[in-house]
């Protein structure tokens, strides 16, 4: 059973039962207490809720104390289906899908996104659309259209039978998890955060002034250049200082600086690191993002083309290791942190069906097994070769060894690279589709095929083709790894069931998800059970995404009271 839901302006709304194909089953049902009606339906039969966007609808249900088990996010599903048809750049929101369906002008997603995140508005206001029955009819029509399109898209997009259906369900489940993690928040100790900043940067400075440590480093950098006044935050000033010292540089990037023998270099590198910390996670960040001893990031499921998540501010996916010391479990509670071990090489083994690489992936350290099999025990060389195969790179003889020993694995990514170089589309295991080449790329690469192409234009065309080939080479692996991680997240969420009140759960609950890492906050007595849940979910994800494969996807599980101790 599926139920479409529209919010009214008085806490009520409209519900409509739908069949699996999206066709209505009965008339719309007006309800005065929408949250109560959703909770009642959830207890009675756990339907799949159909709504425009989980990020807009679900937080308000959570604020009312209502959790749901399943949903169908029209916006996220539209994005997947459009990409599968090679229409990546088209607006994917529900209003855009409805407009396309009715032949009306299609609104831009960017304008609508600028109005999002305003919980005081109701769905019909937020979407800039009519309310009530008309909006519900539009949602029902878009959902039915998506259900009709899914089999055709699945046939053309997914290598794995049922893959695109699984991707659509997992993407919507991920959106539910994202909202729940934001509601619960990641435990965060502001006093520890402040202490870490004071340790690294000095006491909190007055507004508009630099921290003491940065000021000291800036003075020492100036002294290293002969006492000239110098702003380390200005690349132009730094480049002029190096040129005056007889060392002209192409840029001030860290990898360039590390190759320079000058007393200012270690000072500049230290300044860069601490300046980034202060700008991205300093006291202003602490004031803005941590309230009630919780950090509540705004996740964006599917925010990266590969299917990886992004965040809308807060930088949750890049928490510096030093500040992980501030992520401390509540008294009597602990964290169970699970990190997929060497995920992408294992994904390549499963994707390609390469028996040799699958054998290396069957044990613990894949790179060590690979080294023993093909690289005379040299783990570093084995890792370099395999990463070059997945990401692109010229490693000469190492790639020759890899190609000879693991032809199916290397052939898989090289076929993806060729498709990209030729302007084709490639897809993840479950059918997530890469963006089509831009018109600029098509125009640039067309120059290389002319009868007498300009030499410079031809060189640019070949470089553009190679760049896209590197992108598609990695896309098939990284996006398939994102498939596996998303299904893992959904499986963990389902197994943890109802942890209690959304804003202060009383049982084990997800608090963090980062690419291939999952964190559960739980009472200390539940830690062993949660570790088993994570292991079972990893096994299930491997079966669902890759079927009957000998490749295993082990999780490194740590039970810790502080995130910094996890690894």
Nearest Cα to 173, choosing from 500, 551, 541, 542? 541
374 & 359 share domain: yes
Residue that is written with structure tokens 């309230």 in the block = 291
pLDDT at res. 237: 96
pLDDT at res. 118: 44
Asked if residue 41 lies in contact with residue 35, where contact means CB atoms within 8 angstroms, the answer is: no
Helix (H) or strand (E) holding 226: none
351 & 338 share domain: no
Residue that is written with structure tokens 């290389």 in the block = 448
The domain boundary, picked from 480, 498, 529, lies at 480
**Does 168 reside within a domain?**
no
**Does 164 reside within a domain?**
no
pLDDT at res. 443: 86
Angle in degrees, CA 225, 231, 236, rounded to 5: 85
Nearest Cα to 339, choosing from 559, 529, 549, 499? 559
492 & 522 share domain: yes
258 & 362 share domain: no
pLDDT at res. 9: 77
CATH of the domain at 262: 1.20.1060.10
Look at residue 508 and give its three-state secondary structure: coil
CATH of the domain at 308: 3.30.70.370
**Does 440 reside within a domain?**
yes
Task: Give the phi and the psi of residue 14 in degrees, each rounded to 5.
Answer: -125, 140
pLDDT at res. 229: 83
Q: What is the pTM of this model?
A: 0.92
pLDDT truncated to tens, each residue of the chain (567 aa)? 999 999 987 889 999 999 999 999 999 999 999 999 999 999 999 999 999 999 999 999 999 999 999 999 999 999 999 999 989 889 999 999 999 999 999 999 875 554 444 443 344 444 444 557 899 999 999 999 999 999 877 655 556 667 899 999 999 999 999 999 999 999 999 999 999 999 999 999 998 899 999 999 999 999 999 988 899 999 999 999 999 999 999 999 999 999 999 999 999 999 999 999 999 999 999 999 999 999 999 999 999 999 999 999 899 999 999 999 999 999 999 999 999 989 999 999 999 999 999 988 887 789 998 888 888 899 998 888 888 888 887 777 788 888 889 999 999 999 999 999 999 999 999 999 999 998 888 888 886 555 555 677 778 888 889 999 999 999 999 999 999 999 999 999 999 988 988 888 999 999 999 999 999 999 999 999 999 999 999 999 999 999 988 898 999 999 999 999 998
Distance from chain centroid for Cα 205: 34
Size of the chain, expressed as the number of residues it contains:
567
CATH of the domain at 115: 3.30.420
The domain boundary, picked from 285, 312, 331, lies at 285
Nearest Cα to 8, choosing from 43, 71, 57? 57
Centre a 10 Å sphere on the Cβ of residue 507 and count the other Cβ atoms it contains.
Answer: 14
The domain boundary, picked from 236, 256, 285, lies at 285
Asked if residue 50 lies in contact with residue 26, where contact means CB atoms within 8 angstroms, the answer is: no
Domain count, the chain: 4
**Does 178 reside within a domain?**
no
Strand partners, 557: 338
Eight-state DSSP code of residue 548: S
Q: Which domain covers residue 381, as residue numbers?
A: 344-480
């Amino acid at each position: 059973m599926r139920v479409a839901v529209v919010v009214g302006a008085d806490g009520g709304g409209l519900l409509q039962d739908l069949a699996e194909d999206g066709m209505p089953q009965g008339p719309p049902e007006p309800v005065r207490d929408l949250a109560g009606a959703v909770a009642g339906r959830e207890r009675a039969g756990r339907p799949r809720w159909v709504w425009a966007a989980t990020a807009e609808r679900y937080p308000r249900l959570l604020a009312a104390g209502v959790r749901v088990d399943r949903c169908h996010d029209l916006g996220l599903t539209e994005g997947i289906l459009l990409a599968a048809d090679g229409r990546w750049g088209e607006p994917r929101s529900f209003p855009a899908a409805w407009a396309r369906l009715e032949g009306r002008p299609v609104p831009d997603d960017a304008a609508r996104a600028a109005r999002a995140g305003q919980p005081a508005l109701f769905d019909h206001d937020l979407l800039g659309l009519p309310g009530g029955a008309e909006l519900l009819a539009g949602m029902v029509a878009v959902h039915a259209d998506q259900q009709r399109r899914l089999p055709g898209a699945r046939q053309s997009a997914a290598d794995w039978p049922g893959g695109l259906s699984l991707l659509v369900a997992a993407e919507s489940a991920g959106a539910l998890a994202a909202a729940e993690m934001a509601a619960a928040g990641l435990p965060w100790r502001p006093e520890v955060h402040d202490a870490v900043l004071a340790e690294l940067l000095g006491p909190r400075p007055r507004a508009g002034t630099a921290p003491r440590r940065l000021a000291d480093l800036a003075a020492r950098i100036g002294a290293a250049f002969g006492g000239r006044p110098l702003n380390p935050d200005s690349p132009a000033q730094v480049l002029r200082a190096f040129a005056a010292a007889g060392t002209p540089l192409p840029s001030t990037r860290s990898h360039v600086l590390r190759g320079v023998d000058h007393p200012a270099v270690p000072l500049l590198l230290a300044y860069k690191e601490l300046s980034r910390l202060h700008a991205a996670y300093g006291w202003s960040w602490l004031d803005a993002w941590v309230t009630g001893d919780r950090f509540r990031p705004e996740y964006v499921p599917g925010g990266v083309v590969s299917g990886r998540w992004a965040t809308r501010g807060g930088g949750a996916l890049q928490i510096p290791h030093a500040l992980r010391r501030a992520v401390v479990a509540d008294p009597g509670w602990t964290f169970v942190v699970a990190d997929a071990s060497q995920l992408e090489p294992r994904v390549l083994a499963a994707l390609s069906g390469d028996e040799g690489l699958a054998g290396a992936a069957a044990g613990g350290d894949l790179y060590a097994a690979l080294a023993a099999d093909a690289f005379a025990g040299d783990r570093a060389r084995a890792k370099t070769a395999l990463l070059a195969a997945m990401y692109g790179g010229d490693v000469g003889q190492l790639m020759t060894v890899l190609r000879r020993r693991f032809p199916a694995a290397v052939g898989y990514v090289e076929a993806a690279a060729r498709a990209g170089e030729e302007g084709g589309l490639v897809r993840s295991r479950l059918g997530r589709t890469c963006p089509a080449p831009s018109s600029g790329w098509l125009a640039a690469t067309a120059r290389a095929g002319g009868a007498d192409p300009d030499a410079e234009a031809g060189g640019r065309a070949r470089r553009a083709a190679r760049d896209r080939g590197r992108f598609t080479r990695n896309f098939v692996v990284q996006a398939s790894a994102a498939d596996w991680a998303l299904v893992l997240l959904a499986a963990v969420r389902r197994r943890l069931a109802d942890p209690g009140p959304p804003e202060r759960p009383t049982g084990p609950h997800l608090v963090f998800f980062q690419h291939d890492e999952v964190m559960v906050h739980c009472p200390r007595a539940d830690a062993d059970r949660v570790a088993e849940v994570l292991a079972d979910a990893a096994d299930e994800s491997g079966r669902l995404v890759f079927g009957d494969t000998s490749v295993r996807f082990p999780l490194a599980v740590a039970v810790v009271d502080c995130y910094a101790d996890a690894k």
